[in-house]
Amino acid sequence: MRVATWNINSVRLRIQLVKDLLLKNKIDVLCLQETKVMNHLFPHDELSDIFFHQHVIGMKSYNGVAILSKIPFVSTGSIDWCNRSDARHASALFNNGIELHNFYVPAGGDEPDPAINDKFAHKLQFIREMAEWGKRNNDNDAKKILLGDLNIAPLENDVWSHKQLLKVVSHTPIEIEYLEKLKLSQNWVDAVRHFIPSTEKLYSWWSYRARDWKKSNRGRRLDHIWVTPALTKHLSSASVLSEVRGWHKPSDHVPVILNIKI
């Protein structure tokens, strides 16, 4: 089972990039974030010959998540976090017994102070609710995947400069603390770092502001795939497709792929 997560930054604008990814990679489940499209306008037909099963949660112009699968769903769902219907979560239970949750965590704005920045306060509340949800649904035997654009780079080598980004939203100590509480809520395993050691620099996002993203290489690892302990023994490999950032009119994020032997 090959699972991929990708913040596509407008699926209709970049549908050809999705098709290019699928031509070059055999993917069983593709999870998208920031699709920026209402459900009825999602390009279902253009992907239906590959993904017969599609679960889309969208809204006009902003946010939006989708789970596209070759593997049949037993059931699907979505949760409105922070009492907002803002299309940031989609879930699916597959017929192989794996439960998957696709998230698009709020970015949090520019100022890392919840007292003066409502966007940052929203982000912290969102992650706190995720952790509480994790505790309520903890099951040591469950085979679950949590993935998506979590908008936090937790490790020192998940950013280009740990020292310079400590006061920058996505790498602040309070965000990392909240994310760790979420991770502990179901003993989630960072599946990508399971294969790529934390001593190695690893990014999945590069700003559009950089004139030459590859040369400056000031990236952050904002996109993650986690699994519950019951799935850890089934993991076979993981990769971050950094070359996709160099494609024509790319997203600022790149796909992250996990292979699982089921």
59-76 pLDDT per residue, tens: 999 999 999 999 999 999
In whole angstroms, what is the distance from residue 31 CA to residue 147 CA? 8
Residue 76, SS3 per DSSP: strand
CA 16 to chain centre: 20
Identify whether the C-beta of residue 111 lies closer than 8 Å to the C-beta of residue 66: no
Identify whether the C-beta of residue 119 lies closer than 8 Å to the C-beta of residue 205: no
- Write out pLDDT tens, residues 196-212: 999 999 999 999 999 89
pLDDT value for 262: 86
Helix (H) or strand (E) holding 45, with range, is: helix 44-47
Domain boundaries, the chain: 2-260
Query: Which has the closest alpha carbon to 190: 159, 241, 235, 160?
Result: 235
Q: Which residue has the tokens 């279902």?
A: 44
Query: Which has the closest alpha carbon to 185: 235, 237, 144?
Result: 144
220 bridge partner residues: 159, 205
Q: DSSP letter string over 103-165?
A: EE-----S---TTT-HHHHHHHHHHHHHHHHHHHT--TT--EEEEEE-----SGGGBS-HHHH
pLDDT value for 140: 85
Residue type, 209: R
- Write out pLDDT tens, residues 106-138: 999 999 999 999 999 999 999 999 999 999 999
**Which tokens hold the place of 18?**
């999705």
In whole angstroms, what is the distance from residue 205 CA to residue 245 CA? 8
- Write out pLDDT tens, residues 35-55: 999 999 999 999 999 999 999
What's the full length of the chain, in residues?
A: 262
Identify whether the C-beta of residue 197 lies closer than 8 Å to the C-beta of residue 157: no
CATH number for the domain whose boundaries are 2-260: 3.60.10.10
Share of the chain above pLDDT 70, in %: 100
Q: What is the CA radius of gyration of the chain?
A: 17
Identify whether the C-beta of residue 199 lies closer than 8 Å to the C-beta of residue 157: yes
